[in-house]
Structure 1
Amino acid sequence: MSHLVESMAYVGDMPWHKLGSRLEKGMPLEVWADKAGLNWEINRSPVMFDTGQEKESLLSFEDKSVLYRSDTGNALSVVGQRYNVVQPREILEFYKDLTEVSGFELETAGVLKGGKKIWALARTGQSTSLKGNDTSNGYVLLATACDGSMATTAQFTSVRVVCNNTLAISISQDKEGAVKIPHSTSFDPEAIKKQLGISVSSWDTFMYQMKILSERKVSLKEARSFYHEVLIPPHNLGNDNAGVKSIAKAISLYEGNGRGSQLESSRHTAYGLLNSITEFVDHEKRAITAEHRMDSAWFGHGATTKKKALDAALSLVA
């Protein structure tokens, strides 16, 4: 079976998805590009088609291009002429001044789906502990795709140390909680940084919300209502069999089997409910491979489920 993750590099402890090659801290971007599999370019070529006629049977479709890898020649996608490519090196270079001037540290970067999706994640240096020494660290994630699955996206992300659960942080009251640049627009890293703010405000707001959640005790009835809201799709409401296994697993994580579930911040609290969902999505939910789980947890259905859990948890303290 082919892997979603073609290559990946990281520093420090092995990431929660247990993938990649370890690097020492402070490596230059050239080393990151090599080890993370980002040392190639996305090229484009006209789409050609065969008419089956003897003369001039191979014609070009002028409105479309094939994107392909410079190193392997493998096709990545078919796009329109207005499509703006974001090169793998641009994802890493986004962090250049942040690591050299602002103290950010690249922690992981890599390639998904044979190059159709690429990302890099850097620690911001922000860190906060809730009661019981429950610590979370702040990160900035930048990712893009050339297969139509996502725009170029930059967002703050938290990682809870005790369990390596990941959760996106909103940069404002915006529902999306991220800066998204469609491929119909040119990639402007400085404009993205300006939109992100690269400040402590988003982190402080997020951790204040987590503190409030950690102080909100919940009843068993509230917990079951929370899991039904988060884990049962709207079209399956009223179906007694919908989501039974997922809910049972999440409740088990909440009631003591989850990493960090016995900490004072999580035990019988709204924060504990939220963490049981992030752990379920990041570590326990059924997936074809760890790579598929990672892709879902960061960019797909898993990320949507975690956002839904955050909204449901915050509604308990509204």
Structure 2
Amino acid sequence: MDQGTRQPERGVDVNAAFAGEKAAQIAAVEDKAARSREWLDGQLASGAVGKLGGGWYEYLTGWDRGERFRVELDAAGQIAAIVNQHGLDVDTTGRVALYASSPAWHGLGQIIPGGTTDVDKVLAMSGLDFTVTTVPAMYEWLGELRRHDGRFTTVREDTGEALGSVGKKYVPIQNADGFGFLQELVGETDVVWESAGALRGGRRVFVSIRLPQTVTVDADGINDEIVPYVAIFNDHTGGGGFTCVVTPWRPVCANTERFAVRDAHTSWTVRHTRGATAAIREARRTLGLSVRYFEQFTAEENALARTDIAVADFHAVLGALWPLEEDATDKVKANHAERTEQLDAMFRAEAGRLGRTAYAAERTITDFLDHRTRVVPRNLTEDLARAQRALEGGYDDEKSSAHRRLMLLTTR
């Protein structure tokens, strides 16, 4: 479990690697030596784990980087349990709201080996067989119940639980619509469903399928294999839209749901309005779901992987992304220097696995934008603000600019 020294194996499937790492973490709970304070202190000292407070910690390296876990201590101050959170909904019978075509790392949910094409069965097994409606928002004032004009509450029609607050133009996109959307998107009626589940009381749900294409970057070198999935994430709170991503992750828990968005190759989002899911043509164009797209994607990533670059080249790309004005304040200059130093360290780490290539540079910049960029929240916590920005494609322009500039280096 020394994640600080682990390196991903060549051609590894991220889902299998993540599941293996989770299994090792769970097995470590049974090992008194592994769950000693010395082990935890060692993980903290090596930078593999970060402390969040209140018994919560976060993995900073490895395939589940960004995942949080809780440490429970016994009376002697030793670690009694390491609780890895799956974040899925659980009904009154204890059944977890998850369907999957193969077992997940946590061993929970309803599994149909190899998957099924039966939408109704997947809806029932995943806990997504509910619909959402909107009701007028009400409030109490001086003992009188009043209606808040223009504001509505999204409500689960099976339980009556309130999910969020929305405006008058909001039209719920139902869970079943996600299945129909994916079927039409890929042009197949008999789609084999990979996973589906509900999070946070049904406020957010996901559905995924696996595409037949497999992308291999630099087969004779680093041999990075990307198995693409198409996943739908539907938000019923009013705080997010109906999002579709092409990603290497198969969502089976709250963490892999977050990773699927984090590592998405492309994404498309539409707001909950009338006729939203009819925009299939625009989604197909944006997501590039075609053989030609994957051929081009593979060719470009291969070109980056085979292009050695100097640190000066890397700094030139950084300078274009984050230019420093001559009259910048000392604070701005200090922040600029700190960012460059952090990116340099990340690039050295990536280069250790991928070589000092344009591909390693692109991975570094993407990782920094998704996970390290400071987000100034308005009324959200920093983590939620970052997640919202990732869902809304807040860094797409920077990533595209970096990709274009790095591709120019391949033609020198």
1:116 paired with 2:203, answer: yes
Match of 2:181 among 79, 88, 94: 94
Query: Any idea what the Cα deviations from partners look like across 1:241-299, whole Å, max 9, x if unmatched?
Result: 7447853662353132xxxx2xxxx321111223345567889999xxxxx98996797
Aligned pairs for 1:244-263 (under 5 A) are 247=343, 250-256=346-352, 261=353
Match of 2:276 in 1: 187
Deviates more, 1:180-189 or 1:119-128: 180-189
Q: 2:242 aligns with which of 129, 152, 164?
A: 152
Distance 1:143-1:82 versus aligned 2 partners, 3 A rule: same
Distance 1:112 1:142, change over 3 A: same
| Equivalent position of 1:32 in the other structure | 122
Equivalent residues in 2 for 1:130-279, closer than 5 Å? 130-131=217-218, 132=220, 133-158=223-248, 167-170=263-266, 178-189=267-278, 191-192=279-280, 195-196=283-284, 198-223=289-314, 237-240=332-335, 242-243=338-339, 247=343, 250-256=346-352, 261=353, 266-276=354-364
Q: 3-state DSSP class of the match of 1:147?
A: coil
CA distance in 2 between counterparts of 1:64 and 1:155 reads: 30
Aligned equivalents of 2:213, 2:239: Cα separation in 1: 30
1:196 alignment partner AA = R
Instruction: Name the residue aligned to 1:125.
Output: 212
> CA, structure 1 residues 180+122, in 2 after alignment: closer, same or farther (shift >3 Å)?
same
The two structures have a TM-score, normalised by structure 2, of: 0.56
State TM-score, norm by structure 1.
0.69
Letter in 2 for 1:106: W
- The residue that corresponds to 2:147 in the other structure is 60
Amino acid aligned to 1:268: R
Q: CA deviation at 1:33?
A: 2.2
Unaligned runs of 5+ in 2: 1-55, 57-84, 90-96, 251-258, 375-381
1:228 and 1:9 mapped to 2: Cα distance?
46
Identify if the C-alpha distance between structure 1 residues 108 and 225 changes in structure 2 by more than 3 Å, giving closer, same or farther.
farther
Indicate the SS of the match to 1:48: strand
Q: Report which of the two has the higher share of strand.
A: 1
Given residue 135 of structure 1, which amino acid in structure 2 is its aligned partner?
E
Displacement of 1:85 in angstroms is: 0.4
Q: Does 1:75 align with 2:162?
A: yes
Question: What is the identity percentage for the equivalent residue pairs of Structure 1 and Structure 2?
Answer: 19
Q: Please tell me the residue identity of whatever aligns with 1:61.
A: H
Question: Aligned to 2:297, what secondary structure does the other structure show?
Answer: helix
Q: Give the CA RMSD over aligned residues.
A: 4.4
Letter in 1 for 2:333: G
Equivalent positions of 1:17-28 (< 5 A) are: 21=109, 23=111, 24-27=113-116, 28=118
Aligned to 2:141: 51
Q: Number of paired residues?
A: 289
Q: Where does the alignment leave 5 or more consecutive residues of structure 1 unmatched?
A: 171-177, 287-291
Query: What is the letter of the counterpart of residue 219 of structure 1?
Result: A
For residues 205-254 of structure 1, what are the alpha-carbon distances to aligned partners after superposition, in whole Å with 9 as ceiling and x for unaligned?
Answer: 22222122112211123335656877999997522574478536623531
1:231 touches 1:243 (CA, 8 Å); kept in 2? no
The structure having more radius of gyration, on CA atoms, is: 2
| C-alpha separation in 2, matches of 1:218 and 1:87 | 48
Residue-by-residue CA offset, 1:110-138 (whole Å, 9 max, x unaligned):
33443332222221211132323332223
Is the Cα–Cα contact under 8 Å of residues 172 and 272 in structure 2 kept in the other structure? yes
Distance 1:285 1:311, change over 3 A: closer
Q: Whose RCO is larger (CA < 8 A, sep 6+)?
A: 1
Moved more, 99-108 or 141-150: 99-108
